[in-house]
Amino acid sequence: MSEFQTYKTDLTKSRLVATDEAAALANLKDGDILVRIERFAFTANNVTYGASGDSIGYWHFFPAQDNDSGEWGCLPVWGFAEIAASNVAGLDIGERLYGYFPPADFLTLTPSKISPQRFMDGAPHRAELPPVYNNYLRLSGEQNYDPSMDDLRALLNPLYVTSFCLCDALQEADYYQAEQVIIVSASSKTAIGLAQGLADADSAPPTIGLTSAGNRAFVESLGCYDQVISYDQLGEVNASKPSVMVDMSGNRVVLGTVHGALGDNMVNCINVGMTHWEDRDTPKDPLADQIIRERSGFFFAPSHIQKRIGDWGQDGYNARTDAFMKRRAEQSKSWMRVEHIAGFEPFTNVYNDVVVGKMNPNEGLVVIV
């Protein structure tokens, strides 16, 4: 049995640590369940969890084993698991769950707020962490559950929830009165979901996608961007229009270049992900000094989710996000290719490619445990 761990200060370093399910079963308390993880997705989103692991708390969800130094952590992943042992009435062995897991063989949970559709993990160390990540869906209680969509769900739902939140936040802000939305790292899956959502919105301004030269043809083929511009041709950005930017990359050179060109026309920059997380540790390029920080801010989707659950209620929120997800999932069938990785040993061989951004944008990685 294994747990995949990442070195917190250098995400390119990883290791496998042996785990002991027999001991976990022997120590299972009343009110606990043990689940065996079946499969999980791994994307640039998980890399972002690591890049902001200390500032937001992602390292705290699943404390790493055999880690006296505290230097190693478990990058959280989204996937599916089956209950293997249960000391909770109504949660039976064999029931399947969807939710937030460590990249490991098994996990002990302490279910609370149990309903036919879901429960929360009530483990004390998770109590102060964002509640959206502590929510586990019971597939037995889900209407029209389609197991053939498991891979796409694990890959895309965590990303498209953020896409939905961004679309909603932009619409609520009336797009900051901008005449164009500029999306940086337009080939990322969260960016694609956002652009597709904006394309479906009647009131949205034109959407401009910025991407690498190598990904430009793919991004153009999606048909959801009004214009696609490669990073080596940023002069094509129309700097005369008031613009709102959504940045998935954290690439300071690209941001500084576009902010500098737009000047007062850069009305707002929403920072979401960090596909270029490694830029944090490189010497700052002079172009980065042009980033307009007073009109930039980090977007934290879990906070927006909690706000909308308060506004709409859980059922209202679910109805809106479900409709958004189904539309995006159908669209993804035309471009997404799922690659299955059988086990942790093979996963370690491709992990570094994902961390440094070498995967093709139309690929999705699903690890079968």
Q: Tens digit of pLDDT for each residue in 284-337?
A: 567 778 899 999 998 988 899 999 999 999 889 989 998 999 899 889 988 999
- Hey, what CATH class is 159-302 in? alpha beta
- Tokens matching residue 353: 């490619």
pLDDT band at 277 (very low <50, low <70, confident <90, very high): very low
Mean pLDDT, residues 129-142: 92
For CATH 3.90.180.10, list the domain ranges present in the chain.
2-145+336-368
pLDDT at 137 (0 to 100): 95
In the chain, which residue ranges form alpha helices assigned H by DSSP? 21-26, 44-51, 53-56, 150-172, 189-200, 216-222, 252-262, 301-332, 344-355
Question: Using the 8-state DSSP alphabet, how is residue 295 labeled?
Answer: G
Give the pLDDT of residue 341.
96
Segment 265-281 mean pLDDT: 71
Contact of 280 with 51, CB cutoff 8 Å: yes
Q: How confident is the model at residue 161 (pLDDT cuts 50, 70, 90)?
A: very high
**Which pLDDT tens digit goes with each residue over 17-46?**
999 999 999 999 999 999 999 999 998 888
Q: Is the model's pLDDT at 144 over the cut of 90?
A: no
Q: Give the model confidence (pLDDT) of 34-84 as tens digits.
A: 999 999 999 888 888 887 777 778 999 999 999 999 999 999 999 999 999
State yes or no: pLDDT of 102 exceeds 60.
Answer: yes
Indicate if the pLDDT at residue 281 is higher than 60: no
Structure tokens at 65: 């084993």
For residue 186, what pLDDT is reported?
A: 96
Q: What's the CATH class of domain 2-145+336-368?
A: alpha beta
pLDDT(280) > 60: no
Residues of the chain with CATH 3.40.50.720: 159-302
**Do 304 and 161 touch, CB atoms closer than 8 A?**
no
**Dihedral, 96, 62, 155, 193 alpha carbons, nearest 10:** 120
Average pLDDT score over residue span 278-289: 59
Confidence of residue 349 (pLDDT cuts 50, 70, 90): confident
The structure tokens listed for 293 are 């920080």
- Mean pLDDT confidence for 190-194: 95
In sequence order, the 6+-apart residues with CB closer than 8 A to the CB of 42 are 77, 103, 347, 351, 354, 365, 366, 367
**What pLDDT, on the 0 to 100 scale, is given for residue 251?**
86
CA 97/CA 86 separation, integer angstroms: 13
pLDDT score, position 128: 87
Q: What is the pLDDT of residues 236-268, one digit of tens each?
A: 999 999 999 999 988 889 999 999 999 999 999
Instruction: Retrieve residue 329's tokens.
Output: 């999932």
Angle at 170 between CA 167 and CA 171, to 5 degrees: 85
Q: Count other Cβ atoms within 10 Å, centred on residue 2.
A: 18
